[in-house]
Structure 1
Amino acid sequence: MKFLIIGAGGIGCYYGARLLDAGHEVTFIARGAHLEAMKQQGLSVEHEALHFKASVEALSMDELLNRHNCADYDLVMLALKSGATSDWLSECGHWLKQAETPVLSLQNGVDNEPLIAAVIGEERTLGGLAVRIGGHIIAPGHIEAKGPAQVVMGRWPQVKESVPALDSLSDTLNAAQIPTRITNNIRYELWKKLLINNGVNPLSALTGLDTRSLTADPALGKTVYAMMQETALAARADDVELTPSDVDEMFALISQFDAIKTSMLVDREKGRPLELDDISGAVIRRCRQLGESAPNTELVERLLQLDIRPVQWRPLTA
């Protein structure tokens, strides 16, 4: 198959390397020094179960639009930051409409799929999430990833019947050692992942702590759990019911998973825009819509907006 990966950062490059290793064709869309390094030196990916280094096809967005048609690809994987989705659709909407290629979103948040479906239609829109993976660019052209790196995907917004093309895609990903399962209710799965994203990403960015440090700390762990509860409340605005058992399951999952730097913490360290609007903002907006409050989420988001940073305390000297 021929795959196009839009937003070739840590997670996009890991999945792309897996697909290349399995014999598929992959085009990576990136920018800046990372793009230039991939063009000149190839792509290197280090993972506990994969050591990949090879030349790859890496292009800028302009180069893609000038050199390729959407119909050249069997699947578009969208791994952009959520805040870039709308601008990308505005730029590439006409290009996307010239084919029937499905688009699989592997982004944070619960608002990307409606934007995609509004441009290309629900029949071509696949909701998805990358589960239990941490992946970052540690140097241009060099990716470090960890975790089982599973994918959950499904037709947007919800289907009851089996979709043969989706079954075939799942088989392809699983054969490439990307553990993949199909869900008939992708909206529920996206909200379930947002439990973790809202629980740890903003607080991690605020404190500078990894996920394990957050959940193991008595006070911060309670805050993580409370922000997950606020996420479950917000989901009701989208007619998604997240139970206390869902909250407990996701809290246990992130508590037991390897200590990872969240993507929001990495973005803050590098001075990049944070995905606040698509993570904490999504929770706050929906709670307000329901006439409810999300005090923990609101506080952490506001501190990040004010750019409050951890103070490096030093012991007093005599």
Structure 2
Amino acid sequence: MQVAVVGAGAVGCYYGGLLLKAGHDVTFIGRQPHVDAINAHGLLLDTTSFREHLPARAATDTRALAAPDLVLVCVKSADTEQAGRSLAGRLRPETSLLSLQNGVDNAQRLSAVVGHAVIPVVVYVGSEMAGPGHVRHHGGGDLAIGPSAASTALAEMLRAAGIGVTIADDIDRTLWSKLIINCAFNALSAVAGISYGPMLQVEGTRDVVTSAVREAISVARASGVSIPDDFIDHILNIPTMMPNQMSSTAQDLARGKPSEIDFLNGHVVRKGAELGIATPTNQALQVMVKLAERGKEGRRA
């Protein structure tokens, strides 16, 4: 299968790498350092079960793409529309377009720009770019994909590549559940530079996490999304299950990259304002990250 990965970062390189290892023809679209490294040395797929250099093809823009059978869009949420514009006119009617992105509305935003159906996907993986062309896998890797005419065949193809897949009939609930988890931990991990394990040991953190989650659940339910009453108990148990995980927002701040906080806690704040629901904890967490970003900009100036 001809596969294009638009956004060759930690998520795109991990899943694209597994598809490449399974024998699919994968082209990675990413930033120059990663593109140069992949073209020169292949993609280094460094997982919890194997470490392998895979010959691969990469480019900095979509003009290098032949009409693909499958596109994995893995760009940051702020770059969704740009990615859609770059794909417009390059897809066949039967091309499957998947959004493997944080947040709850990227599939709709992408579809509106590219004029093509988009299948939302929720990603459960811990991975990072350890260097140019080097993706390091820390754990997890399952996907939940939205229902569509192509979803069953796509799930079979992904499973054959060693990727755990479920088809989520209620994909909005799955998307919001992941967003709420991100709202609980991403900002705190980022601002403190702390992994999930020791986070709740700090006095008051559990209360902050609980408040942020309750606000987000209220917004989700007011948006018509069903979230179970015991979901907060599951969230508070995550640091025990993933003690060494640093949030993607923490990784962005550490690398001096713009975060997705406006599409995580910021999304809850915006939707809450539309629905008349107060979200002061999520707003505080959003502002904390944006202040940290501004501080890093000032130190680089």
Q: TM-score, normalised by structure 2?
A: 0.91
Distance in 2, Cα, partners of 1:203 & 1:262: 9
1:85 equivalent in alignment to 2:80:
yes
CA distance in 2, matches of 1:216, 1:152: 31
> Which residue number in structure 2 is paired with residue 181 of structure 1?
166
Aligned residues: 295
> Separation in 2 of the partners of 1:215 and 1:19?
37
| Deviation of 1:208 (Å) | 0.9
Q: Does 1:136 align with 2:128?
A: yes
Aligned-residue identity in percent: 31
Q: Is the 8 A contact 2:96 2:150 kept in 1?
A: no
User: Which residue of structure 2 aligns with residue 68 of structure 1?
Assistant: 65
Task: Find the aligned partners of 1:11 and 1:2 in 2 and give their Cα distance.
Answer: 18
Aligned-residue offset at 1:265 = 0.6
Aligned equivalents of 1:69, 1:48: Cα separation in 2: 32
Q: Which stretch shifts more, 284-293 or 210-219?
A: 210-219
Cα offset, 1:308, TM superposition: 7.9
Partner of 1:48: 48
Q: CA deviation at 1:164?
A: 5.2
Question: Does residue 233 of structure 1 match 2:218?
Answer: yes
Amino acid at match of 1:76: V
Within the alignment, does 1:199 sit opposite 2:184 as a pair? Answer: yes
> Is the aligned partner of 1:18 residue 2:6?
no
Contact 1:105/1:113 (<8 A) preserved: yes
User: Deviation at 1:121?
Assistant: 5.2
Match of 2:298 in 1: none
User: SS of the counterpart of 2:122?
Assistant: strand
C-alpha distance in 1, partners of 2:240/2:72?
Answer: 29
Give ranges in structure 1 of 5+ residues lacking alignment.
156-162, 311-318
User: After the TM superposition, which residues 1-318 of structure 1 pair with which residues of structure 2 at under 5 Å, given as runs?
Assistant: 1-61=1-61, 64-65=62-63, 67-70=64-67, 73-96=68-91, 98-120=92-114, 124-131=117-124, 133-155=125-147, 163=148, 165-307=150-292
C-alpha spacing 1:90/1:68, structure 2 compared with 1 (3 Å): closer
- On the 8 A contact 2:43/2:54 being kept in 1, the answer is yes
Residues 91 and 173 of structure 1, relative CA distance in 2, 3 Å threshold: closer
Amino acid in the other structure paired with 2:118: T
Q: Is the 8 A contact 1:3 1:75 kept in 2?
A: yes
Q: 1:151 to 1:183 in 2, by over 3 A?
A: same
Report runs of 4+ in structure 1 exceeding 6 Å deviation: none
- Partner deviation per Cα, 1:255-285 (whole Å, 9 max, x = no partner): 4124211111111111111111111110001
**What's the offset of the Cα at 1:218?**
4.0
- TM-score of the two chains, using structure 1 as the length reference: 0.86
1 CA distance for matches of 2:240 and 2:294? 24
Q: Say whether the 8 Å CA contact 2:129–2:136 is kept in structure 1.
A: yes
Q: Is the 8 A contact 2:42 2:55 kept in 1?
A: yes
After superposition, the C-alpha distances for 1:44-98 in whole angstroms (9 at most, x for unaligned) are 121112322122011111xx31x4343xx221101111110012223332334x5
Partners in 1 of 2:239 and 2:145 — Cα distance? 20
Amino acid at match of 1:147: G
Judge conservation of contact 1:207–1:309 (CA < 8 Å) in 2.
Answer: no
